[in-house]
Structure 1
Amino acid sequence: MAKSTYKVYGYRWVILIIFMLISFVIQLQWLAHAAVERPAEVFYKGQFNPDSFFNIDFLAMVYMLVYIVMSIPASYIIDTYGIRKAIGLGAVIAGVSGLLKGFYADSFEMVVIAQIGLAIAQPFVLNAVTAVTVRWFPLRERGLAAGLAILAQYLGIIFAMLVTPAFIGTHPGRPDYGSGFPHMLMTYGWLTFGAAVVTLLLLKEKPPTPPAADDLVRHSFFKGIKHILKQRDMVLMIFVFLVGLGIFNAISSMTDSISANLGVKDSNGLIGGLMLIGGVFGAVIIPALSDKYRMRKRFLVICTVGALPGVLGLSLTGYFIHNPAVVYDIALASAFILGFFIMSAGPVGFQYAAEVSYPAPESISQGLLLWIGQISGLLFVAGMSIKNNAYLNDWMILFCILMPVVIALTLMTKESPMIITEKDKMKGEIGG
């Protein structure tokens, strides 16, 4: 009788694909200018002060700035009104803002306004990853489902890094340098609008019966916050994401500046692109292994240790090697390594946080981790971009110092009690 209480539905994969689609376009819009920062400065020349806070980098920073304000309200709406209404609201805002950005692509001021709209939409989607997985997926599939959901975010960023330069004249000295922005933003605008329509039409709140027992009991929103902040391992995860996610956000937002710092003249987006490609592989492989072996902590430790060489390679290579071609090759390899490990830590960390903070709503635990990472990312990007990137090297060295701290904090956590229970259940089923 108990077995019939819970059921897994095939439509869960449709829900996941829809969620991946809207996640993809929102992240694509985030970094649409990041890989082509220098050509963008030419296109929008005279519309902003390059030495001020209100510059091209602001288009990436505004996502983090708005997230800090909107994360908790978005998590509250997800928890109170459900994923269909919350994600649907985010989709509507994103669809309208994406088109606005395309229609007024030649006005930097209007692009900023549209970017603020997209930034408002972001937490209604990003904060819902674990809320979607817990409503539709059994525990044994949630790491993989979260990995695929976050994979879509990475694919959106990869698209921004590698495809955007194809729309833009990126080679200095050529007559078309800095051209192509209206066509690029209009194309991305229609993609975003289409994804919003699909989301509104096909997204459902939850299946007729839950996929597992843990879907049945949850704290209220505010009680959940109090519960989360009392959990030692959740507090440790907050500090892990404060540094780790902040570093990822900063490097993702500043890829063209990092390329320039390495002596790369062409804004081809390869450093950012390879970091994201590495993340795509990592986001599929690491969470799937975490599910298979019923381990969260061990794979989080692997991710943080593995990310360290990537940060070191992007930061310190130029100090020891003076051949520009070799420096660039090492930077590309380092970007891939960094992406593979630091970006696969995201879905495993989100699922770990949801498990150690149960029965608090998943939107709160995930929202807090993203929120703290956006704060640090914003501060990192602001520091790196001040005075036309005068202190970028210093910040990269600081990241090298901070990564061992992240490793130490991860080692201090305990394994998820929920995943241990699930592992014991599986052993029992096999033994029976």
Structure 2
Amino acid sequence: MSNVSEEVRVYGYRWAVLLVFGLIFMVGQAMWLTFSLIRAEVTPVLGLAADDQTIVLLTASQPLAFIVLSLPIGILADRKGLIVVAGMGAILQTLFGALRIFLITDFWMILVCQLGLSAGSVMVQDCITYLSVKWFPRNERALATGFSTLFMILGMLLGTTLSLLLWTAPMYGTPGYTVGLAQANVVNILYIYAILAIILTVLFFAVARDKPKHPPDIPEEISEKRPAKTMLKDRNVWIISFGFFVGFSIFIGLTGILETLLPSLGIPVTAGFGNLVFVEVSLLIFGLVGALGLSALSDFVHKRKPFLIVATFVGAIMTYVVGTSTAVGITILAAGVLGFFLVSVMPIALSTLEEFKSVGPQLSGASAGLAFWFGNLGAFLGLLILESLRVGGSYFYSILYLVVTLLIASALVATIPETGKREKS
């Protein structure tokens, strides 16, 4: 027993590995959302008609990539490790992100690039749980996953706001707008993202290590190896995966319809830093705070289940408020509360998955892959479902759908076992 304890060691270097991993995660998310808030300005540059809605495929690229690749890459992460899988993901992100500079006038080639860099993002994101298990002790794993989520949100903030901040050409529909000026502006933005991605990818390979010499916790016995089919037979795994489906439906679906939802409620949307940006930034900033704060608290009190129940229940209420309020101040506040709880639940849910007896550290990548597969399926279908439930200009039934599914998720989560209990030594 003493020999085992001597081999267990927590390295301070774990934070350096987490940092460089988070940075490549961040830049991948930012590159994916490069065009999200300058969509109208970029559409003519890509060779599309001004009202061509095919442009939305650029944003749908990442959910599509996750639906196809998340499960096999999650299994690959368990077998090949952080450096191989996340490292290859970083290279793909950088390569396809840079290629967009030279293909900017061809929409279909840009879509291929978006799918390529999104495939890289899948490879990075599916390593979140692997990294936390290999480098962090059990009582820090939700926090470590929370830090990864923080970088995801920072990347989304960069992708949705930096392009707008760097846009110096006239906005589409305003005097002085030309395709030539817009093209020059977007190319400059793509250069900035590409240079940043190159620097961070080199930094990742220079600093990151697959795993420490000694594990941070007492290693599991080899006899406890678990086949993937055992995980797939566990109803609790499917409940958490359903939670990801619903959560991503709200996070991606709701933000996807905000541009038309807010005007339908009488809240004006203008170019630049108006109501739309304030609502989205509130959602993301408070999500960032929640991802760190609640994850750390969950680790500290050794509880997972209460956080999952409260987050989904409060999320349902705030989704209804955001989707029905006609007062912009209340909408911004509700978006912040929604982000605080809904985003914070992801790292706690991933830690819960890894702590199920049917999963464990050996299937951490596969379980994350399954969760993200369902999450991105929810994101992809969510946009379609929300639009299909719209009646005229009203999204009331769309919002009701989100609220009901989140309440169902909350009720189901109440039936899973508590996994965060302190292990007896």
Q: TM-score, normalised on structure 1? A: 0.87
Aligned to 1:224: 227
Look up the SS of the partner of 2:38 in the other structure: helix
CA 1:364–1:200: 2 relative to 1, 3 Å: same
- In structure 1, what is the Cα distance between the partners aligned to 2:229 and 2:90? 30
Residue 254 of structure 1 deviates from its aligned partner by: 4.3
The equivalent residue for 1:175 is 176
Q: Partner residue of 1:5?
A: 7
Give 1:195's match in structure 2, choosing from 186, 190, 200.
200
Quick one: distance in 1 between partners of 2:23 and 2:220?
25
Among 386, 405, 408, the residue aligned to 1:405? 408
User: What is residue 343 of structure 1 aligned with on the other side?
Assistant: 343
**Counterpart for residue 429 of structure 1:** none
Q: 2:286 is matched by which residue type in structure 1? A: G
User: Cα offset for 1:302?
Assistant: 1.8
- For 2:364 and 2:337, the matched residues in 1 are separated by 29
Question: Who is 1:314 aligned against?
Answer: 322
Cα pair 2:315 2:341 within 8 Å, conserved: yes
**Letter in structure 1 aligned against 2:323:** S
1:170 Cα deviation from its structure 2 partner: 4.5
C-alpha spacing 1:84/1:391, structure 2 compared with 1 (3 Å)? farther
Within-5 A mapping of 1:242-321: 242-259=245-262, 261=264, 262-268=267-273, 269-318=277-326
Structure-2 separation of matches of 1:385 and 1:186: 35
Which piece of structure 1 moves more, 67-76 or 191-200? Answer: 191-200
8 Å CA contact 1:103–1:186 kept in 2: the answer is: no
Residues 166-188 of structure 1 show CA distances to partners (whole Å, capped at 9, x for unaligned) of: 12254753534883322222211
Distance in 2, matches of 1:305 and 1:193, equals 41
Q: Which residue of 1 aligns with 2:73?
A: 74
How far apart are residue 229 of structure 1 and its match? 1.7
Q: Once the 2 structures are TM-superposed, how far is the Cα of residue 6 of structure 1 from its aligned partner? A: 0.2
Equivalent pair of 1:247/1:399 in contact (CA under 8 Å): yes
Matched residues in 1 for 2:114 and 2:390: separation? 22
Structure 1 388/406 Cα, relative in aligned 2: closer, same or farther at 3 Å? closer
Q: Sort the Cα spacing of 1:103 and 1:202 in 2 relative to 1 into closer, same or farther, 3 A.
A: farther
Give the aligned partner of residue 92 of structure 1.
91
The whole-number CA distance in structure 1 between the counterparts of 2:260 and 2:192 is 25
1:234 pairs with 2:233: no
Question: What's 1:370 paired with?
Answer: 372
Q: Distance in 2 between matches of 1:390 and 1:100?
A: 40
Give the distance between the partners of 1:265 and 1:362, measured in 2 at CA.
44
Give the direction of change, closer, same or farther, for the CA distance of 1:47–1:27 in structure 2 (3 Å limit): same
Q: Quick check: 75-84 or 131-140, which moved more?
A: 75-84
Distance 1:387 1:366, change over 3 A: closer
Distance 1:250 1:206 in 2: 36
* One-letter identity of the residue aligned with 1:355: E
**Alpha-carbon displacement from aligned partner over 1:38-81 (angstroms, at most 9, x marks no partner):** 33345446358625xxx222111111111111112211221111
SS at match of 1:354: helix
Partner SS for 2:9: coil
SS in 2 for 1:213: coil
Code of the aligned partner of 2:410: I
1:391-402 alignment, distance < 5 Å: 393=395, 394-402=397-405
Q: Which one is further off, 148-157 or 399-408? A: 399-408
State the Cα distance separating 1:300 from its structure 2 match.
1.0
Q: Deviations over 1:189-238 (max 9, x none)?
A: 22122222222222211111111124665976xx5321112223222112
For residues 64 and 281 of structure 1, the distance between their equivalents in structure 2, rounded to whole angstroms, comes to: 24
- What CA distance in whole angstroms lies between the structure 2 residues aligned with 1:44 and 1:174? 20
Deviates further, 185-194 or 141-150: 185-194
Q: Distance in 2 between matches of 1:82 and 1:387?
A: 42
Deviation at 1:388, TM superposition (A): 11
* TM-score, normalised relative to structure 2: 0.88
Shift of the 76–391 alpha-carbon distance from structure 1 to 2, 3 Å rule, reads farther
Structure-2 residue corresponding to 1:380: 382
The residue identity in structure 2 corresponding to 1:364 is: A
| Structure 2 CA distance for aligned equivalents of residues 296 and 211 of structure 1 | 21
Deviation at 1:421, TM superposition (A): 3.9
Instruction: Kindly state the Cα deviation for residue 362 of structure 1 after the two structures are TM-superposed.
Output: 0.3
Letter in 2 for 1:64: P
2:239 maps to amino acid: L
Number of the residue aligned with 2:109: 110
Residue 31 of structure 1: how far off its partner (Å):
1.7
**Which stretch has the larger CA shift, 385-394 or 395-404?**
385-394
Alignment CA distance shift 1:364-1:218 (3 Å): farther
Distance of aligned partners of 1:242 and 1:387 in 2 relative to their CA distance in 1, 3 Å threshold: closer
Matched residue, 2:153: 154
Q: Return 5+ residue gaps in structure 1 as ranges.
A: 319-326, 426-432
Give the equivalent residue in structure 2 for 1:25. Answer: 27
CA 1:207–1:232: 2 relative to 1, 3 Å: same
Cα distance change on mapping 1:100 and 1:420 into 2, 3 Å: same
8 Å contact kept, 2:137–2:217: yes
Report how far residue 3 of structure 1 moved.
2.5
Q: 1:170 to 1:219 in 2, by over 3 A?
A: farther
How many residues are matched? Answer: 409
Let me know the Cα RMSD of the aligned residues: 2.6
